[in-house]
Amino acid sequence: MENIEGKTAFITGGASGIGLGISKVFARNGMKVVIVDSRQDALDEAMAYFKENGGEVHPINLNVTDREAYVKAADEAEKVFGKIHVLVNNAGVGSGGGPTEKLTYKDWDYSMGVNVGGVINGVMTILPRILKHGEGGHIITTSSTCGLVGSSNFAIYCTTKFAVTGMMECLASELQDRNIGVSVLYPGPTMGNLGLSSFVNRPEHLRNEGETWPPKMPPPPKDGRPRRSPDDFKVVMMDPVETGERVLRGIKRNDLFIHTHPEFTNGYKARHDALIWATSWCGGNAALQRSLEYERERRGNLRLLLSRFGLVLESTNSERKRIVQGVKSYFTKSQFGQSENSLYCGAQRGYKKVRQFPKLNCRS
């Protein structure tokens, strides 16, 4: 969809974080934007921004799990702006982490309801409307790096984000000749309010006993290292407006997959190698081993991303060498010290591989 000016976008979770970043970019590029969210305070705050900065934006308070209300919201959007051309299924929750045996059905139902059910409701309500007006359009769904690779303690989140990956791939092939593009967005760590919003949006009947906000912090590291503050993490997280720009580019180019953080690439490759190997000449154990290596690498990457090493790399060779050594000794001391299979260091947004995965010996 190259010409987006004057077209209408319906963005769920549009009042905060990634959804708000997408809304800002769409609005400043001449789109009409309906921001949809279940938190009225977030909608009010977002609208104050648009009043000050301009943009044709209309807010709707909607819980995406409510099918009847979804239809009414789509009717309202059409009444205000005419046809809907772009659907952004972005509303999501991140509740229910931890060992799977400790999860509750309430954890599962809450996340499946929003992250999968909300996307189903969006597609079922709005796709027929886009098809009906015949002017073309685009459907995009926010998945996660967890929608491409499994990770321990993230069973619920990964399940939901894998599900929407599959759904969007199916839609892309169904709609390819009908002038409707389809994308899946895979954000890496991005500034937003997922923890807080997942807590406040959780309906009473799906709450676990004793849940509180903010959550209890884990104990500090045993080796005496100081605990990092959340502000440390913020400096390495992507600005959602940058994510929004990538989304707009993806829509214009009709990219099926839209990524934000290249340092996860080798992990994706490891997983998909494992899949392919398991189908042919490599045994199942090799595939599992590869996945486990990936898991270590992923932890290493996250650790790296959340550490400040990532901000300064790569001005000169000697500086790079020094930082790489620093990173290595950091890892030796850290709880993820085993993640020596592969290290990635970031030079601002361009992440550099500094150590390669060992190749598996596959018996043919």
Ligand X SMILES: NC(=O)c1ccc[n+]([C@@H]2O[C@H](COP(=O)([O-])OP(=O)(O)OC[C@H]3O[C@@H](n4cnc5c(N)ncnc54)[C@H](O)[C@@H]3O)[C@@H](O)[C@H]2O)c1
Summarize as ranges the residues that interact with ligand X (CB under 6 A).
Answer: 12-13, 15-19, 37-39, 42, 62-65, 90-94, 114, 118, 142, 144, 187, 189-190, 192-194, 197, 201
- Looking at the DSSP assignment, which residues form a beta bridge with residue 207? none
Q: Considering beta carbons, is residue 233 or 336 the nearer one to ligand X?
A: 233
- Phi/psi at 59 (nearest 5 deg)? -95, 145
User: Which pair of structure tokens corresponds to residue 97?
Assistant: 């982490």
Minimum CB distance to ligand X, residue 107 (Å): 15
Positive or negative torsion for Cα 10, 246, 196, 110: positive
Reading phi first (left if > 0) and then psi (alpha if -120 to 50, else beta), residue 314 is in left
Minimum CB distance to ligand X, residue 324 (Å): 26
- Looking at the DSSP assignment, which residues form a beta bridge with residue 112? none
Q: Considering beta carbons, is residue 94 or 300 the nearer one to ligand X?
A: 94
Q: Considering beta carbons, is residue 114 or 148 the nearer one to ligand X?
A: 114
Instruction: Show the beta-strand stretches assigned E in the chain.
Output: 8-12, 32-37, 57-61, 86-89, 137-142, 180-186, 257-259, 343-347, 350-355
Q: Which three-class secondary structure string do you get for 159-178?
A: HHHHHHHHHHHHHHHHHCCC
Yes or no: say if 20 and 35 are a contact pair by the CB < 8 Å rule: yes
| Catalytic site includes residue 330 | no
Distance of alpha carbon 29 from alpha carbon 27, whole angstroms: 5
User: Which pair of structure tokens corresponds to residue 65?
Assistant: 């799990």
For residue 106, the Cα-to-chain-centroid distance in whole angstroms is: 22
Minimum CB distance to ligand X, residue 111 (Å): 9
Minimum CB distance to ligand X, residue 20 (Å): 7
Catalytic residue among 49, 105, 110, 157: 157
Minimum CB distance to ligand X, residue 79 (Å): 20
Nearest to 249 by CA among 265, 260, 239: 260
Q: Considering beta carbons, is residue 114 or 139 the nearer one to ligand X?
A: 114
Q: Considering beta carbons, is residue 144 or 159 the nearer one to ligand X?
A: 144
Q: Considering beta carbons, is residue 63 or 291 the nearer one to ligand X?
A: 63
Minimum CB distance to ligand X, residue 25 (Å): 14
Residues with active-site annotation:
157
